[in-house]
C-alpha cells in the first residue's frame, strides 16, 4: 500500500542532531513544487555537549528557531538523554549525526559503539528506531564513513537496522551532480521498514543531471565593503605567499 502525504495527512517528521534542519528546507521545497504535499516537524533534537552556553543560546538552536519559529518548542535536546517512549511518533526520521570523528578533516577516532567519540552518538539512534519504528529512516554523513577505514562499522550499522526490520539503500551522492556548483560527496542511507516480507520495499536514488550553474551564479554583483579584506590584510597575505614560494624555490 502506497501512503500519500497531503495537507489532510501530512508526513510526520522527526530530526536528530538537527542543526538548522536543512532536511526541513528540502521538505519546504517539496511543498513549493508539489502543492498537495505537506509535512509536520513533530520533534527535533539539537544540543552541543561541548558548548558552555545554555541550549537556547547555542548557534544551531538559534538558527533553527529563526528558520522554523512555529516549531521552536519541539526541541528534545540531547539524544543520549531522550525518553523515547514519550517521543512523538513519526513517519520519517532523519539522523545526521556528528561527523567530527569520521571526517578526513578531523582525528578520525571513528564511531564504534561505546567509544565516547562525538560520532559514536549514532548508536543512540537505535533506541529511537526500537521505540518508534518509523516507516522511513535517512542518514546523511561525510564520504569517509564508507571509505576503507570505517566501512566495516558502516556495514555493522546497516546490519543493526536490518535486524530491526529495515531494508537499506546506501548511495554516495555528489552535490555537483544535482544542481549545486560544489564538489561535495556525501553518503546517504535510506532505510525502509519491511511490512510485508513477500513484497520488500524498493528505493531508487534520483538520477544525476547536468550542472548548469557556476560559482559566479552565486556571487552578488554588489557587495558591502564591510565584507572586503583591508589593504593591510591583503598585503600580508601576498607577502606570506611570496615568502613561502621563495622557500620552495630555494
Question: What is the average pLDDT score of the chain?
Answer: 92
Catalytic site residue 17? no
Tell me which architecture the domain covering 11-218 has in CATH: 3-Layer(aba) Sandwich (3.40)
Compute the chain's Rg from CA coordinates. 21
Q: What is the strand order of the sheet 39-45 is part of?
A: 39-45, 11-16, 92-95, 136-142, 185-193, 166-174
Catalytic residue selected from 17, 24, 90, 99:
99
pLDDT tens digits along 149-192:
999 999 999 999 999 999 999 999 999 999 998 899 999 999 99
- Measured CA to CA, the distance from residue 119 to residue 180 in angstroms comes to 27
Annotated domain spans of the chain: 11-218
Helices (H), ranges, 97-202: 125-132, 151-163
User: φ, ψ for residue 104 (rounded to 5)?
Assistant: -65, -20
In which band, very low, low, confident or very high, does the pLDDT at 235 lie, cut at 50, 70 and 90?
Answer: confident
pLDDT tens digits along 59-94:
999 999 999 999 999 999 999 999 999 999 999 999
- Residue 220: is its pLDDT beyond 90? no
Amino acid at each position: 500500500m502506497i501512503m500519500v502525504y497531503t495537507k489532510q495527512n501530512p508526513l510526520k517528521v522527526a530530526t536528530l542532531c538537527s542543526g538548522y534542519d536543512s532536511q526541513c528546507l528540502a521538505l519546504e521545497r517539496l511543498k513549493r513544487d508539489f502543492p498537495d504535499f505537506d509535512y509536520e516537524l513533530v520533534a527535533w533534537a539539537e544540543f552541543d555537549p561541548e558548548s558552555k552556553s545554555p541550549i537556547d543560546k547555542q548557534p544551531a538552536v538559534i538558527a533553527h528557531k529563526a528558520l522554523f519559529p512555529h516549531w521552536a518548542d519541539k526541541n528534545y535536546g540531547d539524544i543520549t538523554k531522550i525518553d523515547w517512549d514519550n517521543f512523538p511518533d513519526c513517519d520519517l526520521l532523519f539522523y545526521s549525526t556528528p561527523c567530527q570523528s569520521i571526517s578526513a578533516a578531523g582525528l578520525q577516532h571513528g564511531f564504534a559503539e561505546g567509544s565516547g567519540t562525538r560520532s559514536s552518538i549514532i548508536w543512540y539512534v537505535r533506541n529511537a528506531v526500537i521505540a518508534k519504528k518509523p516507516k522511513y529512516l535517512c542518514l546523511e554523513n561525510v564520504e569517509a564513513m564508507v571509505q576503507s577505514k570505517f566501512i566495516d562499522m558502516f556495514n555493522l550499522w546497516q546490519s543493526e537496522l536490518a535486524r530491526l526490520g529495515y531494508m537499506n539503500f546506501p548511495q554516495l551522492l555528489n552535490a555537483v551532480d544535482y544542481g549545486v556548483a560544489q564538489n561535495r560527496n556525501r553518503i546517504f542511507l535510506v532505510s525502509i521498514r519491511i511490512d510485508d516480507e513477500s513484497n520488500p520495499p524498493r528505493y531508487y536514488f534520483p538520477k544525476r543531471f547536468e550542472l548548469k550553474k557556476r560559482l559566479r551564479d552565486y556571487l552578488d554583483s554588489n557587495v558591502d565593503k564591510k565584507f572586503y579584506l583591508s589593504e593591510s590584510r591583503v598585503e600580508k597575505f601576498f607577502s606570506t605567499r611570496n615568502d613561502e614560494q621563495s622557500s620552495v624555490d630555494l
